[in-house]
Amino acid sequence: MKIKCYISAVVYMHNAGNSVIDFLDKIDNYFFDNFENYEIILVDDASTDGTLEIINKHRSKFRGNIITLVLAWEHKIEQAMLAGTHASNG
């Protein structure tokens, strides 16, 4: 039985191109199995390794709502996560 609340996951990314799809597979599968409604907010902290392009290439394989916030310059983790929590609904 799935939990009926709406949950948001805020994920910090900076040059995470090599690992982001594996991570999203795991978190999307877990949330899909356990929650009726969820969103995954990805905060891209000015990555330079093509992280955003990799996510966009694979976006259709995920079942949840994937929101991407792209920061124009590097803010570091605290400010980036704050931006993500301001955008979250759950």
CA–CA distance, 19 with 62 (Å, rounded to integer) = 15
Backbone dihedral region for residue 60 (phi beyond 0: left; psi -120 to 50: alpha; all else: beta):
alpha
pTM over 0.75: yes
Residue 90 has what pLDDT? 76
pLDDT at position 44? 97
Q: Each residue's pLDDT tens digit in the chain (90 positions)?
A: 999 999 999 999 999 999 999 999 999 999 999 999 999 999 999 999 999 999 999 999 999 999 999 999 999 999 999 999 999 997
pLDDT given for residue 60 in this prediction: 95
